[in-house]
Amino acid sequence: MLSLKLAFKNLLGAGLRTWLNVLALSFAFVLIIFYNGMIDGWNRQAQRDTAAWETGVGQFWHPAYDKYDPFTIEDSHAPISEDILKEIENKTLAPVLVSQATAYPQGRAMSVTLRGIDPEQEVLELPSSKLPQSDGIDYAIIGKSMAHSANLEVGDKLLLRWRDKNGTFDAREVEIADVFKCDVPSVDNGQVYIALSNLQEMLAMENEATLLVAGETFEMRELEGWDFKDNEFLLADLQAIIDSKKMGGSVLQGLLLIIALIAIFDTQVLSIFRRQKEIGTYIALGMTRAQVVGIFTVEGGAHSILAILLGAAYGIPLLLLLNKNGIGMGYAEDMAFDIPVAEAIFPYYSFRLILMTIMIVVVTATIVSYLPARKISKMKPTEALKGKLQ
Amino acid sequence: MKKIMITLLMTAIVLGLNAQEAKEILETVDKNMSSKNRIFESDMVIHGRRSSRTITSKTYSEGDKQSFTEYLSPAREQGTKMLKQENKLWIYSPSTDRIIQISGHMLRQSVMGSDLSFEDMMDDRKLTDIYNATIAGHEEIEGRDTYILDLAAIVDDVAYHSQRLWVDSERFVPLKQEMFAKSGKLLKRTTLSDVQKVQGRWFPMTMVYKDMLKDGKGTEFRISSAKFDQDIPEYIFTKAALKQ
């Protein structure tokens, strides 16, 4: 307790030098929380959006289907059984039929993926209900990014060419019924959504699907002839991207932390050099060398406590403001990277994140304070009292 | 009643003869156009929006199952090789020294910016194997009389549900070909010209392919040398040949 009192007294007594160190360390502290909070917030949003728009609580794939292998799409379709049809009627499963095609917007050719979706499904947030089925016209819905790259608007006609299950070419014009805004690129880029029954008829695959998306109300069980893929599997790519972003960010945070710690280290070395008489006095008063090392270590480490308090003073309002308003990312019109990015990212500061950051700052500041203080244990008290250089 | 019966009988006989004649025409076309194997040297003229470019290549093909193409010029494409085996297609790029298999949506991409997609190059079976023909009439093209044949698919696994073929009535070489989707939409048009006698058969040395859904002038394919039924070493149609 005595050492803590002494430490704070000495620190505050050092004035500007202490506050410069504390300010540098507090920047590192706030930045670590901000960056990781942003990544965590992005991760949570991306996972939530992907689940809401694409994966549900998991998907049942046709055994031959592999979304990373276009070779498999041709053979990945199977009839929907009576048992599954009941689940579809109850809105617990949403069937999706996948096929590849070529779209011809304004006389250009571009590869697209056709996705047949039940207009009445409620499992995914896709506005599939905007796919009218009864007036003899084929309708499609597309995402904003797809609409941008193909220069399409609601009401425009899009010519599609595809091969049916026998490999025979067919072509038809569809009318764009809706352009939806979605932050998940794999739901948007190059995807054209058509009513499931229409696509089944177009591909000559009556009552067939490539995959089934499970909704929250689906009672999880095995479906014969379909392989279940949970969200851990379906979102593995996203997790890998987030992990690599975190790793990249940690380099920057580490550098900032090192700069602040070097300043503390430097201050400690200077203190021990300039305060030899004080050290000699402590020992003369009966303190052991370890106790004196302790005083100096606590004094250095106390920088981190002050940094946390200062960081909290300006960081809490700032981070809360960012949390409330979000960090604008702009709509990723090009969606150059295949990563779900929302228009604004709302950082998420978990208790674990804050606790871990406090621990890192306190422990590292204490270690760099201890390293120069070890010199005290080798000092001769008599020489120290005289203030002689050792 | 008797008159109706005679009329129906005559119609059936005429239609039967028509179908028979159309089949014979198509068989003769197949004889002209197909061979055990062939070696072509050709120039492919691709018309872009601003300019045109020419790609020279040498192609070895055997039946409809395997073919090997090496691009000879321009310098940017030189050394690029393509191998087709059954329904698989590999491409070798010398700049990356890699062989990649063309699949899925990539098969729908055009070959070097032309109006031909990779999958167009995958299907070249004999017309008589996959279509039933009927004569729809006659028409003159470039001063030559042609039969107009309507082809309807007789097998399920065919790329084009129907075709219309204009066949030179003397040389039995198609001078124009239109391919239709199941919906009846015109997808591709090929115009064939510069018919020459090569090793006893008539063969069109210039073909213009046009993707009718896409804007543009199409892609011209000029054969500078055609050899049929040659001795092609078997290794040519292997992946190992791509890197040689």
Chain A to chain B Cβ contacts (< 8 Å): 73
Instruction: Using alpha carbons, list the distances in angstroms from residue B163 to A243, A251, B134, B176, B190.
Output: 54, 63, 11, 10, 11
Min distance A189 CA to chain B CA atoms (Å): 14
Structure tokens at A88: 């579809």
Residue B214: list chain A partners with CB under 8 A. Answer: 104, 107-109
d(CA A352, CA A365): 20
| Res A123: pLDDT | 93
| Res A389: pLDDT | 59
Contact by Cβ (8 Å): A52, A336: no
Interchain CB distance below 8 Å, A172 and B159: no
Tens of pLDDT, residue by residue over B186-196, are 999 999 999 99
Min distance A105 CA to chain B CA atoms (Å): 9
| Res B121: pLDDT | 63
Which range is least confidently modeled, A10-14, B12-16, B175-179? Answer: B12-16
Instruction: Give Dmax (Cα) for chain A.
Output: 102
Min distance A69 CA to chain B CA atoms (Å): 8
Grade residue A233 by pLDDT with cuts at 50, 70 and 90: very high
Min distance B239 CA to chain A CA atoms (Å): 19
Name the residue in chain B with its Cα closest to that of A159: B213
Min distance A104 CA to chain B CA atoms (Å): 7
Distance of CA A314 to the CA centre of its chain: 25
| Res A25: pLDDT | 83
Interchain CB distance below 8 Å, B105 and A70: yes
| Res A311: pLDDT | 87
d(CA A171, CA A167): 13
**ipTM greater than 0.85:** no
Report pTM: 0.76
Interchain CB distance below 8 Å, B153 and A170: no
Interchain CB distance below 8 Å, B158 and A167: yes
d(CA B27, CA B43): 28
Q: Pick from A71, A161, A164: which is nearest to B213 by CB?
A: A161
Q: Looking at residues B157-181, what average pLDDT do you find?
A: 92
Residue with tokens 């997790």: A239
Report the share of chain A in percent with pLDDT over 70. Answer: 94
Q: Pick from B104, B105, B181: which is nearest to A171 by CB?
A: B181
Q: Looking at residues B32-46, what average pLDDT do you find?
A: 87
Residue among B185, B186, B209 with most chain A CBs within 10 A, to mutate: B185
Q: Pick from B104, B105, B181: which is nearest to A161 by CB?
A: B181
Q: What is the DSSP string of B134-149?
A: EEEEEEEETTEEEEEE
Backbone angles phi, psi at B38, to 5 degrees: -155, 155
Q: Looking at residues B141-148, what average pLDDT do you find?
A: 93
Interchain CB distance below 8 Å, B109 and A161: no
pLDDT at A105 over 80: yes
Interchain CB distance below 8 Å, B187 and A73: no
| Res A213: pLDDT | 95
Residue A104: list chain B partners with CB under 8 A. Answer: 213-214
Interchain CB distance below 8 Å, B213 and A171: yes
Residue B181: list chain A partners with CB under 8 A. Answer: 161, 169-172
**C-alpha closest to that of A175 among A192, A197, A196:** A192
Instruction: Provide CB contacts within 8 A for B166, sequence distance 6+.
Output: B139, B141, B146, B147, B148, B149, B174, B175, B176, B177
- How many other C-beta atoms lie within 10 A of the C-beta of residue A325? 10
Helices A289-325/A351-373 angle, 10° precision: 150
Grade residue A388 by pLDDT with cuts at 50, 70 and 90: low
pLDDT at A175 over 90: yes
Name the residue in chain B with its Cα closest to that of A172: B183
Grade residue A330 by pLDDT with cuts at 50, 70 and 90: low
Contact by Cβ (8 Å): B9, B16: no
d(CA B15, CA B22): 10
Tens of pLDDT, residue by residue over A235-255, are 888 888 888 888 887 787 788
| Res B118: pLDDT | 66
Name the residue in chain A with its Cα closest to that of B183: A170
How many domains are contained in chain B? 1
Mean pLDDT rounded to a whole number for chain B: 84
Q: Pick from A101, A107, A161: which is nearest to B215 by CB?
A: A107
Q: In 3-state terms, chain A is what percent helix, strand and coil (to 5)?
A: 55, 20, 25
Residue among A161, A172, A192 with most chain B CBs within 10 A, to mutate: A161
Which range is least confidently modeled, A221-235, A264-278, B2-16, B191-205? Answer: B2-16
B91 in a structural domain: no
| Res B12: pLDDT | 52
Domain residue limits at B162: 2-33+124-226
| Res A8: pLDDT | 75
Grade residue B9 by pLDDT with cuts at 50, 70 and 90: low
Q: Looking at residues B77-100, what average pLDDT do you find?
A: 87
| Res A41: pLDDT | 87
pLDDT at B112 over 50: yes
Name the residue in chain A with its Cα closest to that of B187: A171
Residue type, A184: V
Interchain CB distance below 8 Å, A169 and B153: no
Q: Looking at residues A258-263, what average pLDDT do you find?
A: 82
Contact by Cβ (8 Å): B142, B175: yes
Query: What are the domain boundaries of chain A?
Result: 2-52+237-386, 58-219
d(CA B33, CA B226): 12
Between A22 and A178, residue with greater pLDDT: A178
Interchain CB distance below 8 Å, A171 and B187: yes
Between B134 and B84, residue with greater pLDDT: B134
Interchain CB distance below 8 Å, A161 and B161: no
| Res A334: pLDDT | 47
| Res A82: pLDDT | 92
- How many other C-beta atoms lie within 10 A of the C-beta of residue B92? 20
Interchain CB distance below 8 Å, B105 and A109: no
d(CA B114, CA B47): 8
Contact by Cβ (8 Å): A77, A208: yes
CATH number, domain at B25? Answer: 2.50.20.10
Residues of A with CB under 8 A from a CB of B: 69-71, 73, 100-102, 104, 106-109, 111, 113, 159, 161, 163-164, 166-172
